[in-house]
């Protein structure tokens, strides 16, 4: 796309070989071959350094590769030559968003909207980044069990608030009923964002617990490795009526195709209430099909502490997130589990609201 309001002399008519290399670079970028695209755009820019379209596309591929500093430099160079190029402001907003700098991302998106106020994708980006300090999530689930066992139910209310650009705090209350026993579990959580990742710590517990932890401490971190790859680590210590269960879950995550596809994997290690080491794994992914529709899938074959003991559970789930408005999202998830002594089928629905 040629930028609006760019003087004619900025992007000169290119000879056929350069034009072909530029077209090949665009095709490679759109196909997700970003390393190849970077080489092609650098070749074009070596001969035509004022070609803002090639430099913009170079920035987009660098962004997809997680080379954020280089991508930001490319977008800045485009804007220095063509201040009216809205896509370069969008690129800077995405770089800042990936760094966790939401205020800067919102400012860049706002400048893009002022340049092209009618573009739906820019309007959606501004709404996505607009500061909304409060978030409320309400979820409910019902499970049917095989062997004539009574149904399970679950209701959860979570409220979180952005304290600063880098810190969030939240509180969640869950009411679960299993085999006619009811537990109410409460958890407080604190999240910290940084330029190369994030971290959280959570403390919770249930009074007079039948099957939920009497006291549980969880913590985790995500560290960006570059190229859309991240390393993850989650750990927990939970005290049940029958003993303490420890868990450590190293993993990895990948963001592909400009964040439209996200994949993750975890290696689950548990020291159960008897002191035995058990292990398993979990895999999952999410695909942003449209600006409002997100599809999710996951599979796990891992130990789980439930009903006072740790058992091996094989689980499959499919989910859909749909943005009803720019601030409200509806979630539907179907889960199927093989729990050894019985099977469980669950349908869960949820609503997330930012304000």
Instruction: Report whether 137 contacts 156 (CB < 8 A).
Output: yes
Give the per-residue pLDDT at 51.
95
Non-local (6+) Cβ contacts of 7 within 8 A are: none
Give the Cα separation of 53 and 55 in Å (integer): 5
Give the per-residue pLDDT at 5.
47
Fold (topology level) of 16-129 = 1.25.40
Phi, psi for residue 146 in degrees, rounded to 5: -80, 180
Non-local (6+) Cβ contacts of 130 within 8 A are: 106
What does the buried/exposed string (b/e) look like for 305-317 if buried means 16 or more CB atoms within 10 Å of the residue's CB? beeeebeebebeb
Instruction: Report whether 162 contacts 106 (CB < 8 A).
Output: no
Give the per-residue pLDDT at 299.
98
Give the Cα separation of 318 and 310 in Å (integer): 24
The three-class DSSP label of residue 298 is strand
Chain-centre distance of CA 175, in angstroms?
26
The helix (run of H) or strand (run of E) holding residue 273 is none
Domain boundaries, the chain: 16-129, 134-354
Non-local (6+) Cβ contacts of 265 within 8 A are: 251, 252, 253, 281, 282, 283, 284
Within the chain, strands assigned E span 134-145, 152-162, 167-178, 181-194, 197-206, 215-226, 229-240, 243-256, 261-271, 277-288, 293-306, 309-323, 328-338, 343-354
Angle at 156 between CA 153 and CA 160, to 5 degrees: 170
Give the per-residue pLDDT at 8.
39
Angle at 221 between CA 236 and CA 270, to 5 degrees: 30
Q: How many Å is the maximal CA-CA distance in the chain?
A: 77
Helix locations, 82-207, DSSP H:
86-99, 102-115, 120-129
Give the per-residue pLDDT at 129.
85
Homologous superfamily of 134-354 in CATH? Answer: monomeric porin ompg (2.40.160.40)
Give the Cα separation of 143 and 317 in Å (integer): 13
pLDDT in tens, the chain (355 residues): 444 444 434 444 445 588 899 999 999 999 999 999 999 999 999 999 999 999 999 999 999 998 999 999 999 999 999 999 999 999 999 999 888 787 889 889 999 999 999 898 998 888 888 878 899 999 999 999 999 999 999 999 999 998 987 899 999 999 999 998 999 999 999 999 887 789 999 999 999 999 999 999 999 999 988 778 999 999 999 999 889 999 999 999 998 876 789 999 999 999 999 999 999 999 999 998 987 899 999 999 999 987 668 999 999 999 999 999 878 999 999 999 999 999 999 999 999 998 8
Helix locations, the chain, DSSP H:
16-30, 34-47, 52-64, 68-81, 86-99, 102-115, 120-129
Instruction: Report whether 173 contacts 156 (CB < 8 A).
Output: yes
Non-local (6+) Cβ contacts of 161 within 8 A are: 133, 134, 135, 168, 169, 170
Q: pTM surpassing 0.75?
A: no
Residue recorded with tokens 């927990």: 236
Give the Cα separation of 332 and 318 in Å (integer): 8
Chain-centre distance of CA 164, in angstroms?
20
Give the per-residue pLDDT at 196.
79
pLDDT in tens, 269-305: 999 999 999 999 999 999 989 878 999 999 999 999 8
Phi, psi for residue 8 in degrees, rounded to 5: -60, -35
């Amino acid at each position: 796309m040629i930028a609006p309001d760019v003087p004619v002399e900025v992007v000169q008519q290119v000879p056929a070989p350069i034009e072909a290399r530029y077209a090949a670079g665009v095709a490679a970028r759109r196909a997700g071959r970003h390393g190849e695209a970077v080489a092609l755009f650098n070749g074009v820019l070596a001969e035509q350094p004022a070609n803002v379209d090639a430099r913009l596309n170079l920035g987009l591929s660098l962004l997809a590769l997680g080379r954020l500093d280089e991508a930001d430099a490319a977008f800045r160079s485009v804007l220095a030559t063509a201040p009216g190029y809205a896509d370069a402001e969008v690129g800077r907003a995405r770089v800042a968003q990936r760094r966790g700098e939401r205020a800067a991302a919102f400012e860049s998106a706002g400048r893009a909207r002022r340049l092209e106020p009618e573009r739906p994708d820019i309007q959606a980006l501004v709404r996505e980044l607009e500061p909304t300090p409060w978030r409320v999530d309400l979820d409910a689930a019902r499970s049917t069990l095989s062997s004539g066992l009574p149904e399970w139910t679950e209701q959860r209310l979570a409220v979180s608030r952005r304290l600063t650009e880098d810190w969030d705090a939240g509180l969640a209350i869950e009411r679960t009923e299993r085999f006619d026993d009811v537990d109410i579990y409460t958890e407080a959580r604190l999240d910290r964002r940084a330029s190369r990742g994030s971290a959280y710590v959570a403390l919770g517990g249930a009074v007079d617990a039948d099957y939920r932890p009497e006291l549980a401490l969880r913590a985790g971190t995500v560290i960006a490795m570059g190229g859309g790859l991240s390393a993850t680590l989650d750990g927990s210590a939970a005290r049940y009526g029958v003993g303490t269960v420890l868990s450590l879950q190293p993993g990895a995550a990948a963001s592909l195709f400009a964040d439209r596809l996200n994949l993750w994997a975890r290696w689950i290690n548990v020291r159960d209430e008897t002191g035995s080491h058990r292990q398993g794994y979990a895999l999952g992914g999410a695909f942003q099909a449209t600006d409002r529709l997100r599809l999710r899938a996951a599979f796990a074959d891992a130990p789980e502490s439930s009903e006072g003991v740790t058992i091996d559970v094989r689980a499959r789930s499919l989910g859909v997130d749909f943005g009803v408005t720019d601030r409200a999202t509806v979630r539907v998830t179907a889960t199927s589990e093989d729990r050894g002594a019985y099977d469980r089928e669950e349908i869960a629905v949820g609503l997330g609201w930012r304000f």
